Every structure is written in structure tokens, then in C-alpha cells.
Amino acid sequence: MAIGFVLINVSPGKEREVFDILVKEKSIQELHPLFGEYDLIAKVTINNLEQLGDIVFNKIRKIKGVTGTKTLTGAGF
């Protein structure tokens, strides 16, 4: 099991629309709006990092209004 955090930039005025789409995604355990450089942060739990890439590239980035992402992978201790 792997955990990733995806910081998401959204076009102005599209934050709620993108939030409403992402909150339905099964692999996203938490989704929070932010103030500052990024608009949303999603906590994603997946089986492996390949799956994380698939979610970012094929789901999150394809949503109309998403202008960019930054993905952080969790480290296990």
C-alpha cells in the first residue's frame, strides 16, 4: 500500500466544481481546499506508485479546470 498527496491548481472560479468531481473518486481518502499556491490537496491511497501516476495523469489532470498538479509520495518508516 502506498500513499500520495496531490497538490492541485485550479482555474479561478472552478474550485468547487473540481472538488465535487474529485470527492467521488474512490482512491482519494481525503480532499481539502487550500489557501495559497495550491487550491486543493488530495490524499490518495493506492497499491503502488504506478497506480498513483495513473490517477494523476488519467483522472485528476483530465478534469476541466485543473491547471496543474504536484505529487508528493509518502515514505514508510
What integer pLDDT is reported at residue 76 of this predicted model?
A: 65
2-71 belongs to CATH 3.30.70.920 = yes
| Measured CA distances, 38 to 17, 43, 49, 52, 77 (Å) | 16, 14, 22, 19, 27
Q: What is the pTM of this model?
A: 0.91
Q: List Cβ<8 Å contacts ≥24 apart for 17-24.
A: 17/65, 18/63, 18/65, 18/66, 21/63, 22/60, 22/63
Spell out the per-residue pLDDT of the chain, length 77, in tens: 889 999 999 999 999 999 999 999 999 999 999 999 999 999 999 888 889 999 999 999 999 999 999 999 987 66
* Residue 32 one-letter amino acid: H
